[in-house]
Structure 1
Amino acid sequence: MPKDRGKMIKKDGFQFCFDDTFCKTCKAKCCIGDGYVFLNDKDIENLYTFLGISKEDFLNKYTRKVFGKVVLIDLVIKNEKRCVFLDDNYRCEVYPKRPFQCKSFPFWEKLRSFSLDELKKLCPAIKPCR
Structure 2
Amino acid sequence: MAVDPGSKGVVPFRFSCHRCGHCCTGGEGHVWLDQGEAERMAEFLGMTADAFRRMHVRTVPDPNRGGELRETLREREEGGGGRCTLLEGRNDCSVYTARPEHCRTFPYWPSVMEDEAGFERARGTCPGIRLEPTSAQREAAFARLEAIYAELEELLAAVRPVCIARGVCCRFEEADHVLYSTGLEADYAAAKKPVAPAPEAEGRCPYHVAGRCTAREGRPLGCRTYYCDPTLQDALEATHERLLGEIRQIERDLDYPASYAPFPALLADRNVGVHAATLTHETQTEGRTP
- Superposition TM-score tier, normalisation by shorter sequence: 0.7 to 0.9
CA contact (8 A) 1:43 1:99 kept: yes
Specify the SS of the correspondent of 1:39.
coil
Name the count of aligned residue pairs.
121
Higher RCO (C-alpha under 8 Å, 6+ residues apart): 1
TM-score, normalised relative to structure 1: 0.79
Aligned equivalents of 2:32, 2:120: Cα separation in 1: 26
Aligned equivalents of 1:12, 1:76: Cα separation in 2: 37
CA contact (8 A) 1:10 1:129 kept: no
Correspondent of 2:4 among 2, 6, 9: 9
Aligned equivalents of 1:36, 1:73: Cα separation in 2: 8
Highest CA radius of gyration, 1 or 2?
Answer: 2
Q: Tell me which residue corresponds to 1:90.
A: 91
C-alpha spacing 1:8/1:121, structure 2 compared with 1 (3 Å): farther
C-alpha spacing 1:87/1:70, structure 2 compared with 1 (3 Å): same
C-alpha spacing 1:49/1:110, structure 2 compared with 1 (3 Å): same
CA contact (8 A) 1:75 1:83 kept: yes
C-alpha spacing 1:37/1:79, structure 2 compared with 1 (3 Å): closer
Q: Tell me which residue corresponds to 2:123.
A: 120
TM-score, normalised relative to structure 2: 0.38
Q: Tell me which residue corresponds to 2:110.
A: 109
C-alpha spacing 1:16/1:119, structure 2 compared with 1 (3 Å): farther
CA contact (8 A) 2:7 2:13 kept: no
CA contact (8 A) 1:48 1:54 kept: yes
Aligned equivalents of 1:93, 1:60: Cα separation in 2: 16
Q: Tell me which residue corresponds to 1:72.
A: 73
Q: Tell me which residue corresponds to 1:19.
A: 15
Aligned equivalents of 1:117, 1:89: Cα separation in 2: 25
**Post-superposition shift, 1:44?**
1.4
Specify the SS of the correspondent of 1:81.
coil
Normalized per residue, the structure richer in helix is 2
Normalized per residue, the structure richer in strand is 1
Correspondent of 1:28 among 21, 28, 38: 21
Q: Tell me which residue corresponds to 1:99.
A: 100
Specify the SS of the correspondent of 1:83.
coil
Aligned-partner residue type, residue 100 of structure 1: E
CA contact (8 A) 1:19 1:127 kept: yes
CA contact (8 A) 1:8 1:19 kept: no
More off after superposition, 94-103 vs 48-57 = 48-57
RMSD over equivalenced CA pairs, Å: 2.3
Aligned equivalents of 1:23, 1:107: Cα separation in 2: 16
